[in-house]
Amino acid sequence: MERIDLLINEYLKKQKPKILHDLRVEARRILSNLERNGKIDLGLKFLLKKSSKLRDTDVMIKICKNKEIKKYLKKKRKKLRKKFIEFLKNFKSEIVELENKKEFIDCKKVLSETFLNKDDKTLHKIRIKIKKCRYTNSQFEREFKAIQDYLGKVHDFYNCEKLLIKFDKNPKNAIKNKKKFIKKAEKERIKLLNLIP
């Protein structure tokens, strides 16, 4: 929890998207390992929930090139950031036993099906499972991270596509990029599936 406290303090001072990303990664790492032992940190779980839209907005500002959309996103980020900072000022860790011990994720099973024919929401759910696999399988962390990153790009371009449609703009490039990253994730999935015993 020491690293979480450091990252919270750093974010409160600088409010940089990279620090928020690092804070969320560390929170997920801790939660994955707690879950493996039948526990959960309610504070960290809430931190992830409270920061999710802010993180998505930070990413969308980077990848959506349309000026009108960027302006909309920056205004949205300002409001989300203000709420999140208030939450962080009162953050408390609270580790409790899970009532229904979740079954440990079978990472080989997660990798057993192709990504190519999945819809956007299913791919996002798979990405969440891949993250847990990454944080609990140190020997394959780099490989899981590659898949996670590609599926993250898929999700980012899906969100960009939705925004472009909302603003009556052509989503062609967002769709093209999304498909490109699905193919890259699929290539990594096949490689890793052959490595896992």
Q: What is the pLDDT of residues 88-126, one digit of tens each?
A: 999 999 999 987 655 567 899 999 999 999 999 999 999
Residue 104: the pLDDT is: 63
Element (H, E) at 96: strand 95-97
Can you give the pTM of this predicted structure? 0.86
Share of the chain above pLDDT 70, in %: 97
Q: CA 91 to CA 112: how far, in whole Å?
A: 39
The total number of residues shown for the chain amounts to 197
Confidence of residue 137 (pLDDT cuts 50, 70, 90): confident
| Cα–Cα distance list, 59 to 35, 109, 119, 130, 160 (Å) | 28, 30, 21, 20, 9
Is the predicted pLDDT of residue 28 greater than 90, yes or no? Answer: yes
